[in-house]
Chain A
């Protein structure tokens, strides 16, 4: 017996420096406890929700966030999203693989959103004073989400919009998913409001840029927030519409402070020089999402493991 112990000690004495490398020791335990956490039955662990912010094209960074979280096996028990966050979030909640979300980003064109974004739309605006309609986008979403209602999605989902008549926040937790998502990203001043049950709905980013409360209302005990941040250094808007979009975007982002404080973990992705409707740059935004999320992943895992320990104790 003593001989065996001596052999073990000798074996350890011969181990490389790694034995004293605290970062690697941390990584080993983190990896072990993380796997135990993600393999714990849902009803015995903390419920984890994901809130995806607005941000136009920049919001496509959420796809990168989802790819990294999924690769790590992170449980997403419920999901909310505003504007572009609603588009990505609803797709994921509907069970679309992340690779399909990438494809959407690589192939989406302005006419998928509206047939009136070209010169005919401008003519309608000038002559008829009529804003373009985002109806095309609803059709596109109908196909992508297979005509599902929100309550039929694989993961509980919600998305906010705003009633332009009253300034109220309307949180969609049920009903036709395509219409709700269209309303959530129906940019005010760019597209005509979406009519739904006597309401005139526009982009939810105006009232709930980062829907943390909404995901808590769905039952999340731990909230991961994904927030692509604007960095406009060097890009001056060239059109009236671009100015309006940027002002809305900056204002919305300023209003996130409160929501950020309510989240448990915020993934802040700096997305430089991408305008709100810069469709060609969607994959760049997603790549930035991957890079930042992968960088902070160990911190998120550690935080969630420790939160779960406290939660389990609280539940006893």
Chain B
């Protein structure tokens, strides 16, 4: 009995060694291809790397390396802007390695970047099914739901992420504040943008959001202060024109006209600036002057909102 067992073990051992020896030269050859692909990638020769990787994946026998090869191949395609090929690569990789988080993550990120938000959400959900504490998936889901307009759900995932990574919270307070602002929950939005401003007090987007929240809460003074800070951080068209629109609303027509004139000097067909001028004159009761700007907008060749709203005002016989 004992001899028999020893014999089986010996046979098993010999066959395993023989098998490995048979595969080994190929495996080594394949490994060289992957190494060469990596080298080409680091030299930014993405086409060369793609050729090697495709070769490797077609002929490859070393299964465990496939995941890395798919990741690298997808990355090469992404670097070349061939996003369709990158997507197909990750999809194929995921099909062969359905539980590989790295591949799923790349796939989810690419879905997100190509505005396939629903696919991205589903893929991030798959990652959370594999690892319920995956912080990238939580953040990906939060951002995906923000894009879809499902802010209450986005907040759930932000909260999960914050619970898991409390030290990273400050980097995401802006997004979190935005989710509340989009729900018109101004108190929560102001609280969280305040926290974000503690870390990024000179950042444009935080100051601009704080300005919008304050304005919507009726605090015009703070809104002006934050808007000035946003403009100091970045001379952004959005903030400049918001200043003009608020000036119209506050009856400060001189300031609104000055800003609009500045915009029109740089771009004479700027429809928003023209509409601001229309509003500034119309709200002062200067209908004849106002009408002139509506006519300028409606004469333009496009069918955007500003032209349509100008046309409605024109037809309404201001």
Contact = CB atoms under 8 A, between A and B. Distances in A.
Contacts of A24: 237-238
Contacts of B236: 15-16, 18
A26 B306 contact: yes
B259 A8 contact: yes
A156 to B, nearest CB: 23
B316 to A, nearest CB: 4
Interface stretch (A182-190, A219-227, A266-274, A290-298): A290-298
Nearest to A35: B216
A71 B263 contact: no
Given A22-B271, A309-B316, A36 B249 contact: yes
Contacts of A302: 305, 308-309
Given A68-B149, A291-B118, A12 B184 contact: no
Nearest to B117: A291
A267 B270 CA distance: 32
B149 A293 contact: yes
Contacts of A16: 236-237
A22 B235 contact: no
A277 interface: no
B182 interface: yes
A305 B309 contact: yes
A20 interface: yes
B46 interface: no
A12 to B, nearest CB: 4
Contacts of A44: none
A313 to B, nearest CB: 4
B237 A310 contact: no
Interface stretch (B50-58, B90-98, B166-174, B240-248): B240-248
B265 A28 contact: no
A25 interface: yes
Contacts of A14: 235
A73 B262 contact: no
A214 to B, nearest CB: 28
Nearest to B248: A32
A25 B150 contact: no
Contact of B235 (A15, A32, A68, A293): A15
A277 to B, nearest CB: 25
Interface of B: 118, 148-153, 182-184, 216, 235-238, 240-242, 245, 249, 258-259, 261-263, 265-267, 270-272, 275, 302, 304-306, 308-309, 312-313, 315-317
Question: What 10 pairs across the A-B complex have the smallest Cβ distances?
Answer: A294-B149, A8-B262, A313-B316, A12-B266, A26-B305, A25-B272, A18-B237, A9-B265, A309-B312, A19-B237
Given A12-B262, A16-B236, A22-B306, 13 more contacts: A8-B259, A8-B265, A12-B266, A13-B266, A18-B238, A24-B238, A28-B242, A68-B149, A71-B184, A290-B150, A302-B309, A309-B313, A310-B312
